[in-house]
Structure 1
Amino acid sequence: MQQKLISLDLDGTTLNSSSQISPKTKNVLQAVSQAGHIVTIVTGRSDKMALNYYDELGLKTPMVNFNGAVGHFPHSQSNDSYEITFQKEIVLDILASKSTLGIQAIAAEGKGLTLTDSTDGSLSPFFPAASRSQDVLNKINLTKDPSAITMLVNPFKKAEITQQLQKTYDSDVTVSVWGGPAPVLELSPKNINKKVGLKFLTQHFNIPRQNIIAFGDEQNDIEMLRYAGTGVAMKNASSWIQDVANVVTTVDNDHDGLAQYLEQNLLQAE
């Protein structure tokens, strides 16, 4: 048996529309692990917002968060980890011109770092409100450089804000737009994407590219799908993401598309 590295995007891929791992997907992923393959999570989510899924699957492998900016072993002090950041001054600069730009809420995140300037819990499910003073994003609390900034913006000004941020900070960060209904922009360290995380995993496990099967559905999965030996786009992915992939699942994330693919092409093939 050739050992495969399975790289999982979470939202729209491993998770269904209710942000859950279905019993079938969980069973298949655990069967894949038991068959000797390596199952990993490579997500745009923070370590904090992905940990429950990592634990639910019973993983012990490294996890990649913030679209490739952080790679680490949860629950472990392993030295084999990395964190790519950008200057915290960028956060403070954007914070100062927040209302001028049309930004409603800002969060600065990194490994073990979650600060937000929003104290309104009803603002958005994507922005947990700061419940304690030490969780508020300000100059005093922001003591380390972040790996990501997420911003809830005025939906009618999204394109304009993106352009302005790109113009101002282009040499330091990449500005990307989240998929889905929420008008969220994300700033990541320049030239960092999920491919960086995948390279970290291949080096850690000493596994060749051609033995990677990567699953994704969004713009932030493109580099990962291209880098993998087999890039699998979900049926629910937009057509241009599907065009980048080698294969498209026959059903979507609400009908266990990922699990069905692994069953037919990995488990039954053995």
Structure 2
Amino acid sequence: MKLQHLNKKRLILVDLDGTVLKSDGQTIHEKTAQVLKKACEDGHTVCIVTGRPHRATMRFYKQLGITSLMTNFDGAHIHDPYKRRFKRLVFPISEQVVFDIINNPVVKENVTNILVESYNKAFVMKKDEFIENFFHLDDVDDDDYFIANPYESWEGPATNLCIFASKEDKKDDIIRQLEKFKNTIKIQSGHIYGNITKASTLMITLTNKIVNKGFVASILAQYYNKDIRDVIAFGDQMNDYDMIKTVGYGVAMKNGITELKNVADGITNFTNDEGGVGEYLERLLNGEEV
């Protein structure tokens, strides 16, 4: 893959986990950080597009020194953290649908835990270390996190609803019930984020039906007046699939899943732990064939 028209200032979209972040989920490889910072200095626009909530994204946003729009929950929350010149866009699941789902008899009988999130608060029915770590529930101070019964305490729409099945076969029963809500929700599993554990296999994550990273890529391209064919994007998992397909230069990580590599325009030469984004983007922006 080689960039056409090197003089153009690009919109560069980056996923976090498994892409910009190393496998510890806490650090950015020095090469990747260096190249992304230089891209901003050279007039390109770098945007983080992640499944993570705002609270678990801000420190990387600050570390990279970017001031662009940020996208969380795979597109359910688009905002301008610093300048606040962009009116926040939130694409939620309605309060009524949230309650209809969690009160469905089959769901209610077969779940062990429930997480309900909006863009700035989260309720977990029972304290659970996996949920706290996976969803970064206590990463920053400006979001509210409660251990509380959502049946009694939750109010308002949700950007993310996650339910944990008691057993694998019960998960299928729950998903069958969720078909009743197919006009308003999108059903995803823990596999989509690439962190596969016993707990994640029992996890069913629900978002607004229209939300995906490809949809976000188009919004960001329009906002920054970029032809979508000139946009560069990096990702590693199935939640990056629509974004990689939508942009002109979609790059899958070497450590990414095969399904994503099959539709990508390019594959990094190195993994996320080896600075794959930095090495590939630097060569791409320099006009090299990669």
String of CA shifts for 1:2-24, please: whole Å, max 9, x gaps.
Answer: 11111001111111111121222
Superposition deviation, residue 199 in structure 1: 1.6
Q: Does 2:182 correspond to 1:170?
A: yes
Residue 126 (1) aligns with residue 141 (2): no
Report if the CA contact (8 A) 1:28-1:263 is conserved: yes
* Structure 1 spans left out of the alignment, 5+ residues: none
Structure 2, unmatched stretches of 5+, are 1-6, 139-143
Q: Residue 156 of structure 1 aligns with which residue?
A: 168
Q: Which residue of 1 aligns with 2:241?
A: 222
Partner residue of 1:4 out of 1, 10, 27: 10
Counterpart in the other structure of 2:64: 57
The whole-number CA distance in structure 2 between the counterparts of 1:148 and 1:123 is 13
Task: Indicate conservation of the 8 Å contact 2:124/2:146, yes or no.
Answer: no
Alpha-carbon distance in structure 2 between the residues aligned to 1:23 and 1:210: 29
Change (3 A) 1:121 1:218: closer
8 Å Cα contact 2:13-2:233 kept in structure 1: yes
Could you say which residue in structure 2 is the equivalent of 1:39? 46
**Which residue, out of 32, 35, 50, partners 1:28?**
35
Pick from 73, 80, 104 the counterpart of residue 73 of structure 1. Answer: 80
Contact in 2 for aligned 1:177/1:185 (Cα 8 Å): yes
Number of aligned pairs? 267
Q: For each residue in 1:181-240, what CA deviation from the matched residue of structure 2 results, as whole angstroms up to 9, or x when unmatched?
A: 122321011122111211221121111111110111111111100110100001111211
- Asked if 1:114 corresponds to 2:122, the answer is yes
Residue type of the alignment partner of 2:168:
F
Paired amino acid for 2:285: L
Q: Deviations over 1:86-139 (max 9, x none)?
A: 2123323343345523x3222112221222212244666225679x99552525
Q: Distance in 2 between matches of 1:93 and 1:83?
A: 21
**Aligned counterparts of 1:38 and 1:133: Cα–Cα separation in 2:** 32
Q: In the alignment, residue 194 of structure 1 is paired with which amino acid? A: K
Q: Aligned with 2:133: secondary structure?
A: coil
Report if aligned partners of 2:52, 2:135 keep a CA contact under 8 Å in 1.
Answer: no
Please say if residues 44 and 67 of structure 1, whose CA atoms lie closer than 8 Å, have aligned partners that are also in contact: yes
Contact 1:134 1:141 in 2 (8 A): no
- The Cα offsets for residues 64-103 of structure 1, whole Å up to 9 and x where unpaired, read as 11111111001343243311112123323343345523x3
Normalized against structure 1, the TM-score is what? 0.89
In structure 2, the partner of 1:138 is: 150
1:161 Cα deviation after fit: 4.7
Aligned residue type for 1:253: N
CA distance in 1, matches of 2:22, 2:130: 23
RMSD: 2.4
